[in-house]
Amino acid sequence: MSRKIGGADLERPDGVLLSTVVDGTLVVTLNRPESANALDDELMDALADLWRAAAGAPGLRAVLLTGAGRAFCAGADVSMLSVPRVKVGDTAAEELDFLPGPRLGVPVIVAVNGVCAGGGLHFVADADICIASTAARFLDPHVSVGQVSALEPLHLRLRMRPDVLARLVLLGRHESLPAERAERAGLVSEVVEPDALAGRAMELAAMIGRNSPEAVRLSRRALRAFEERLIAADMDLGWELIRRHRHHPDAVEGPAAFLEKREPKWATS
């Protein structure tokens, strides 16, 4: 039976996005395991629709986001990068409407169960609390497929060691952070064994739920407003650089080479 909070149906039992409400926590699972939960337009639209529904659900106390299968999120689906996009945000905020943090008034817990790459790092940066299993690893392969990395790093710059972040951005697919190194760098706050990840995430959500909902909401708002003021203009600049670069030959060559399993032939600058 579908459970409803605040009159909004938040149950999604199948499809590219799964969601259910457990004791006031909206548990959300990216469900494209055959594609390592890569982001495509269908999944991003489903996420944005879910956050709109959840925003009107006063009984919620937290959101828990994770991935199905062995991966958390492999970033943007490369097949989507190889063709012109129909739906493109005018601003960074519009482009990132698939993230829950700016749209909800409750804490977001992200549980990284496996590989988290490229656009998957958006969820880590957006989280109020991010934990990972020992099976998780983190990388930013944008530049290795001819794409500009200019949004995820700005969010992550507020959360992790800048030298480690620069290595992720500039070395692309040639640099990967295992969970333990990610914790030391400040990318995640806790690392647990894979079979303990879901339970630990729910424990954190339950602890949040025992606090004053209004005090939690306002405390979180203060933290997020501070961060947003720091990076808002730079996020829009980053989004403009990404859009401008899409006309460069490398932006086409990178995804094509990846799909054809060959080394890319970059344009000379």
Domains of the chain: residue spans and CATH: 4-217 (3.90.226.10)
Residues 233-253 pLDDT 10s: 999 999 999 999 999 999 999
By the 8 A CB rule, do 186 and 159 touch?
yes
Query: Which pLDDT score is estimated for 6?
Result: 44
Cα separation, 130 vs 149, in Å, equals 21
Residues 94-138 pLDDT 10s: 999 999 999 999 999 999 999 999 999 999 999 999 999 999 999
Query: In whole numbers, what is the pLDDT of the chain averaged over residues?
Result: 93
Query: Which pLDDT score is estimated for 256?
Result: 92
DSSP 180-242: HHHHHTTS-SEEE-GGGHHHHHHHHHHHHHTS-HHHHHHHHHHHHHHHHHHHHHHHHHHHHHH
Q: What is the pTM of this model?
A: 0.93
Residues 74-104 pLDDT 10s: 999 887 776 666 567 788 999 999 999 999 9
Distance from CA of residue 219 to its chain's centroid?
A: 22
- Percentage, residues of the chain above pLDDT 90: 88
